[in-house]
Chain A
């Protein structure tokens, strides 16, 4: 009898797996997603939970005392102050996890150098841009990379699920891609010669080429394809989205955004609304 046990157990288990795979979509496919009101939730619990990176200097990273700091962290602090609520920062492990954390309700808003894209907008929603950034390449000087096509045939480190990962397959289809969970692990791979270059947001490449102690890293000194950084929020949460947009308007209008950008980059930000 017990010899049969394992076989029977396996049968039950496969049944469960099949039920799990086939059951839920039938049950919920017709349901309308319910409206949410994160704004009220935040005010009621008087706590704002912000998802941010802890590995992406200077947007969100850990300082010498291992506190979470960075431009995005400053903005999160300011937002909580504006709302008169307590701020809780949740470090988001990877790029796609920003969306996973939002969808699973782990965070109220993602402020994590989050590039708004059409693809991502199918799953979550984005606010108006608070910053504009492009793509950049940071590389080992000995790899002699001058432009994007120069990445062909090279080992290129990317962050899994980042916008840069998609871009490199388009701009340099013959590049050999190494995928890491965190931008910092990808950068470490470049520093140690495991990869020739890394694709990341332009400001990231500028920052890290500048701080490299061995001066062995260079970057392509022109951003490619300027894109908006936005806050990420859940779908069907219109009041919250309105409020966040209103906050971002004030962030620009009060000059606070320029001031923060200057603090972290010592430069003028790219224009968010060009005067065309």
Chain B
């Protein structure tokens, strides 16, 4: 388009609004991480269970989620369940959608972590008279967490980026605040550039921090 005049001033004036949205993105992502860690842990225990029906249930969950888009899942939870008169408020719908989605990926990550613990340790724990839960709690999880920490960090970055989709169900995250800003200033290009830069800075800062923590706590290289 000839003669487009850039005006970043308008966008920078509204930086507090965007930061407000970024905060929503952050707490939504953090809650998602915690929630999906719980779902993922149970999912992984299901995947590795002695009971065939539990294994099948967990596998089915993982396959359905991993083979459908998050956007469709969000629409289904918000509007689809709404048609059946199950009303899920928008923030909660976004959280449930993100947790169920990432829970499936974490199921696989946690499972890989548990499987990385040698069989011999299970047997040793058993021979000490530990129950399944005690074994998991004191022997397996502490070690598995060390293994899953790097992919977990990776997944957290993914959660932040993909949480931008919740703007379609009226959650005022960074992406929706950007759209609202555009509707007031009509500076779409400038706004999208600033919002994208904010996502990049956010994810880079967080992944650097997580790496530092990992190095301190787990002595990861």
CA distance A159 to B33 in the complex (A): 30
Please state if A21 and B87 are interface contacts (CB–CB under 8 Å). Answer: no
A-side interface residues, number (CB < 8 Å): 44
CA distance A188 to B183 in the complex (A): 22
Please state if B197 and A179 are interface contacts (CB–CB under 8 Å). Answer: no
**Chain B residues within an 8 Å CB radius of A188:** 79, 82
Stretch at the interface among B23-31, B51-59, B174-182: B174-182
CA distance A221 to B5 in the complex (A): 43
Answer yes or no: B3 CB below 8 A from chain A CBs. Answer: yes
Please state if A120 and B170 are interface contacts (CB–CB under 8 Å). Answer: no
Q: Which of B8, B82, B182, B201 contacts A192 (CB 8 A)?
A: B82
**Chain B residues within an 8 Å CB radius of A103:** 1, 4, 186, 188
Answer yes or no: A242 CB below 8 A from chain B CBs. Answer: no
Q: Which of B2, B8, B82, B176 contacts A194 (CB 8 A)?
A: B82
Chain B, 156-176, contact with A by CB distance < 8 Å: what is the 0/1 string?
Answer: 000000000000101010001
If A29-B5, A178-B90, A192-B87 touch, whether A100 touches B182 (CB-CB below 8 Å) is: yes
**Chain B residues within an 8 Å CB radius of A122:** 186
| Complex: chain B residue closest to A94, CB-CB | B179
CA distance A178 to B167 in the complex (A): 11
Answer yes or no: B134 CB below 8 A from chain A CBs. Answer: no
| Complex: chain A residue closest to B75, CB-CB | A185
Answer yes or no: B212 CB below 8 A from chain A CBs. Answer: no
CA distance A10 to B205 in the complex (A): 10
**Chain B residues within an 8 Å CB radius of A104:** 1, 188-189
Please state if B186 and A123 are interface contacts (CB–CB under 8 Å). Answer: yes
Q: Which of A178, A185, A192 contacts B83 (CB 8 A)?
A: A192
CA distance A96 to B6 in the complex (A): 18
**Chain A residues within an 8 Å CB radius of B176:** 160, 179
**Chain A residues within an 8 Å CB radius of B79:** 185, 188-189, 192
A164 to chain B, nearest CB (A): 11
**Chain A residues within an 8 Å CB radius of B193:** 20-21
CA distance A157 to B89 in the complex (A): 13
Answer yes or no: B49 CB below 8 A from chain A CBs. Answer: no
B3, B170, B182, B201 pick with most chain A CB within 10 angstroms: B170
Provide a sorted-by-A list of 16 A–B residue pairs whose CB atoms are within 8 angstroms: A25-B6, A28-B4, A28-B6, A32-B3, A33-B5, A34-B3, A99-B186, A100-B188, A122-B186, A124-B186, A160-B180, A178-B170, A179-B180, A180-B170, A185-B168, A192-B79
Given contacts A10-B204, A161-B179, 20 further A-B contacts (CB under 8 A): A24-B6, A28-B4, A28-B6, A29-B6, A34-B3, A94-B179, A99-B186, A103-B1, A103-B186, A161-B180, A178-B170, A179-B180, A181-B168, A188-B79, A188-B82, A192-B85, A193-B82, A194-B87, A194-B89, A194-B90
- Which A residues contact B (CB, under 8 angstroms)? 10, 13-14, 17, 20-21, 24-25, 28-29, 31-34, 36, 94-96, 99-100, 103-105, 119-120, 122-124, 157, 160-162, 165, 178-181, 185, 188-189, 192-194, 236
